[in-house]
Amino acid sequence: MAAEIMPPAARPLYDFSGLGKLANNSAFVREMQSMFVNQVPGQIAQLKATIEGEDWVTIAYHAHSLKSTFGNLRIEPSTGLLKEMERIAFQHRDKLELLAILQVVATTTDVVVRLFEQELRLAA
């Protein structure tokens, strides 16, 4: 019988190792999850509005802020995509490219929000 080929283990969508020692503090992790659920979707909406208005400085600001949030939670590839958005904004170029990147980040945000909401309900 031929050996079965197994796909590599999928990398988790997020992890809390970017929080350092606080990653082991369940109350702090729940607070981070709650803040993500309550703030990030609104920040994504604000970023979309600034992209639509081609407000390059504010686009870079929002992308930078979100990059830090996503980076602390090790959410990839969104962290890298937000870094790319920041770079594009500094170059004042291609609103359509920014919107395409934002769509990927927004989809990931929706998934993470649902997962965090579920985990918060279970922890309650």
Please list, in sequence order, all residues whose beta carbon lies within 8 angstroms of the beta carbon of residue 78, skipping any fewer than 6 positions away: 70, 104, 105, 108, 109
19 — pLDDT class (breaks 50, 70, 90): confident
Average pLDDT of the residues of the chain: 91
Model confidence pLDDT, tens digit, residues 49-83: 999 999 999 999 999 999 999 999 999 999 999 99
- Which of 92, 109, 115 is closest to 41 using CA atoms? 109
Question: Are 73 and 18 a contacting pair, CB within 8 Å?
Answer: yes
Helix (H, G, I), strand (E, B) or coil at 20: helix
Does the pLDDT of residue 109 top 90, yes or no?
yes
